[in-house]
C-alpha cells in the first residue's frame, strides 16, 4: 500500500492554499461569518481554477470524476470559511454528482457545463419539520398536472443555501403512501418560482450559505425538472441512496478535517507565542499532550476520509467506511476545536480569534449528513449483516 499523496493532489493542494491566502484572508472570512454572507465574487474566482469540474466527466467539460481531489478542495476551503466551502459542495457535489448519476442525457448536456463554470448550484430540500433521518417518510407531495407541469405542496426544513441556489433539489412524494421507497421523486425547483417561500433559520455557526425553512404552496415547474425524466418518476429513493448519501457523509468529514487542521495550526502557533511564568506555554507538558492528541486524531480522520474517498471513486461499496469516516472525523473535529479553544484560554472566547468560530462550526458536523448515532447504527447493521453472511 502507498499512502503518499499523488502529484496531482499535492499540486491541487498548493493551488488552493495560495487561493485561500489571497482571496479568503482571515479578516474577510470573519466578516462573512459575522454577516452570514456568501461571497459570490470569490466563488466565481474559485470556479476559474477548474475545481468545480472534479465531479464531471470530460465529455461535459469537466476534469473527470475524482472524489479524493473533491474532498481535498472541501478540506482546504473549510480551513478558512464555510461561506465558500459549503457553496463549493452545493455546486460540485449536490449538483454535479447527482446530475452525473441520475439525470437524463438531455439534462446532463444542459446542466453539467454550468456546474463546471460555477453558474449552477443546488441546495438540498430533503429533511422536513417532522422528517430527519427517516427520509422515506417525507410528506411534501408532487403531482403531475395539465400542461406538462408538476405541482408541489409541502415544506422543507434545514434547507442550507436555498436563497443562493439555482435549484432546490427536493425529495417529494409522488406515489401512494403505502408504497414506501417506490413513491419518491427528485424535483429541481428554482427558489424564485411563485409559491416558494424561504425563511431564514438563525444558527450558531456555519454561516455564508444560510440555513432556511422552505415552503411550497401550489408551486408548479415543468416536468423536465424531474431528475431523470420519466424514468426518474417514483425512483427518487434509489437516486439518493445510489448517489447522494455515501458521498454526502464524506463531504461533511472533509469539512471536519479542514476545520480540525485550522484549529490545530492556530493552537500550535498560539502555544509557541503565549508566555506564562517566563516561558511559552508549549513548554508545559499538559499543552504538549493536548497538541499531540489533537495531531493524532487529525491524522486518523484524514486517513479514514481519504481511504473512503478512494473507495467511493472506484465505486467500491463503502457504506461502512463512509459512515466510519464521517463518525470519526466529525467527532474528532469537535474535540480538536474545543481543545484549541482551551489552549487559547480567554482569547478562545473572543470574536477576534478564529478559535471560537471553529467551535461553533464543528459542533454542527456530528449532526448533519446523518448524526453520529445514525452512523453508529449503520456501522453495526451493515457490519453485522456481513458477519452473518460470512458465517
Q: pTM for this structure?
A: 0.96
On whether residue 302 sits in a domain, the answer given is yes
Reported as a pLDDT band with limits 50, 70 and 90, residue 391 is very low
Based on the domain organization, do 285 and 351 belong to the same domain? Answer: yes
Based on the domain organization, do 68 and 158 belong to the same domain? Answer: no
Domain that holds residue 362: 238-386
On whether residue 391 sits in a domain, the answer given is no
The grid coordinates listed for 1 are 500500500
Based on the domain organization, do 110 and 136 belong to the same domain? Answer: no
Based on the domain organization, do 311 and 370 belong to the same domain? Answer: yes
Over residues 38-64, the pLDDT tens digits come to 999 999 999 999 999 999 999 999 999
Contact by Cβ (8 Å): 233, 226: yes
The grid coordinates listed for 363 are 459542533
The secondary structure of the chain in percent helix, strand, coil, rounded to multiples of 5, reads 60, 15, 25
Residue 146: phi and psi, rounded to 5, are: -60, 155
Per the structure, the count of domains in the chain is 3
Q: What is the CATH number of the domain that holds 18?
A: 1.10.540.10
Based on the domain organization, do 101 and 131 belong to the same domain? Answer: no
The grid coordinates listed for 238 are 434509489
Based on the domain organization, do 48 and 156 belong to the same domain? Answer: no
On whether residue 244 sits in a domain, the answer given is yes
Based on the domain organization, do 198 and 285 belong to the same domain? Answer: no
Q: In sequence order, which residues have a C-beta less than 8 Å from that of residue 355 and are 6 or more positions away?
A: 263, 266, 267, 337, 340, 341, 344, 347, 348
Over residues 296-328, the pLDDT tens digits come to 999 999 999 999 999 999 989 999 999 999 999
Q: In sequence order, which residues have a C-beta less than 8 Å from that of residue 64 and are 6 or more positions away?
A: 54, 56, 57, 58
Based on the domain organization, do 167 and 255 belong to the same domain? Answer: no
Q: Does the pLDDT at position 389 exceed 60? A: no
Based on the domain organization, do 153 and 230 belong to the same domain? Answer: yes
Mean pLDDT of all residues in the chain?
Answer: 95
Based on the domain organization, do 257 and 315 belong to the same domain? Answer: yes
Reported as a pLDDT band with limits 50, 70 and 90, residue 142 is very high
Over residues 12-37, the pLDDT tens digits come to 999 999 999 999 999 999 999 999 99
Q: Does the pLDDT at position 155 exceed 90? A: yes
Over residues 246-291, the pLDDT tens digits come to 889 999 999 999 999 999 999 999 999 999 999 999 999 999 999 9
Q: What is the CATH number of the domain that holds 221?
A: 2.40.110.10
Q: What is the CATH number of the domain that holds 331?
A: 1.20.140.10
- pLDDT on residue 243: 65
The whole-angstrom separation of Cα 102 and Cα 324 is 26
Contact by Cβ (8 Å): 360, 205: yes
Exposure class string for 116-135: b at 16+ Cβ within 10 A, else e: bebebbbbbbbbbeebbeeb
Last residue in a domain, options 219, 234, 249: 234
Angle of CA points 29, 81, 204, to nearest 5°:
95
Contact by Cβ (8 Å): 181, 136: yes
The grid coordinates listed for 365 are 458536523
Based on the domain organization, do 72 and 129 belong to the same domain? Answer: no
On whether residue 20 sits in a domain, the answer given is yes
Which residues are paired to 216 by β-bridges? 154, 196
**Which of the pair, 269 or 134, is modelled with greater confidence?**
269
On whether residue 1 sits in a domain, the answer given is no
Cβ of 14: how many Cβ atoms within 10 Å?
11
Amino acid at each position: 500500500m502507498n499512502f503518499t499523496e499523488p502529484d496531482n493532489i499535492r499540486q491541487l493542494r498548493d493551488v488552493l492554499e495560495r487561493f485561500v491566502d489571497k482571496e479568503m484572508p482571515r479578516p474577510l472570512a470573519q466578516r462573512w461569518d459575522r454577516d452570514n454572507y456568501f461571497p459570490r465574487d470569490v466563488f466565481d474566482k474559485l470556479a476559474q481554477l477548474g475545481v468545480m469540474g472534479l465531479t464531471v466527466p470530460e465529455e461535459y467539460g469537466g476534469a473527470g470524476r475524482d472524489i479524493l481531489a473533491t474532498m481535498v478542495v472541501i478540506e482546504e476551503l473549510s480551513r478558512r470559511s464555510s461561506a465558500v466551502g459549503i457553496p463549493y459542495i452545493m455546486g460540485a457535489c449536490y449538483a454535479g454528482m447527482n446530475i452525473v448519476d441520475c439525470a437524463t442525457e438531455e439534462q446532463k448536456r444542459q446542466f453539467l457545463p454550468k456546474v463546471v463554470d460555477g453558474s449552477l448550484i443546488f441546495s438540498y430540500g430533503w429533511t422536513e419539520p417532522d422528517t430527519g433521518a427517516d427520509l422515506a417518510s417525507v410528506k411534501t407531495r408532487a403531482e403531475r398536472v395539465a400542461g406538462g407541469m408538476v405541482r408541489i405542496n409541502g415544506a422543507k426544513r434545514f434547507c442550507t443555501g436555498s436563497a443562493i441556489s439555482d435549484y432546490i433539489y427536493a425529495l417529494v412524494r409522488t406515489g401512494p403512501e403505502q408504497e414506501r421507497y417506490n413513491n419518491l421523486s427528485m424535483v429541481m425547483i428554482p427558489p424564485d418560482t411563485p409559491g416558494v417561500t424561504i425563511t431564514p433559520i438563525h444558527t450558531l455557526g456555519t454561516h455564508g450559505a444560510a440555513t432556511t425553512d422552505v415552503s411550497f404552496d401550489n408551486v408548479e415547474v415543468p416536468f423536465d425538472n424531474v431528475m431523470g425524466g420519466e424514468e426518474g418518476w417514483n425512483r427518487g429513493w434509489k437516486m439518493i441512496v445510489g448517489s447522494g448519501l455515501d458521498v454526502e457523509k464524506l463531504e461533511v468529514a472533509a469539512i471536519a478535517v479542514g476545520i480540525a487542521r485550522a484549529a490545530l495550526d492556530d493552537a500550535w502557533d498560539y502555544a509557541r507565542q503565549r508566555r506564562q511564568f517566563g516561558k511559552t506555554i508549549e513548554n508545559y507538558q499538559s499543552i504538549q499532550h493536548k497538541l499531540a492528541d489533537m495531531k493524532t486524531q487529525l491524522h486518523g480522520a484524514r486517513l479514514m476520509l481519504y481511504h473512503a474517498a478512494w473507495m467511493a471513486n472506484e465505486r467500491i461499496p463503502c457504506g461502512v467506511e463512509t459512515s466510519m469516516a464521517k463518525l470519526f472525523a466529525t467527532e474528532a473535529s469537535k474535540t480538536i476545536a474545543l481543545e484549541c479553544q482551551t489552549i487559547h484560554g480567554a482569547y478562545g472566547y473572543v470574536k477576534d480569534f478564529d478559535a471560537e468560530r471553529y467551535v461553533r462550526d464543528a459542533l454542527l458536523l456530528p449532526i448533519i449528513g446523518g448524526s453520529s448515532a445514525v452512523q453508529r447504527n449503520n456501522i453495526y447493521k451493515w457490519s453485522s449483516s456481513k458477519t452473518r453472511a460470512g458465517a
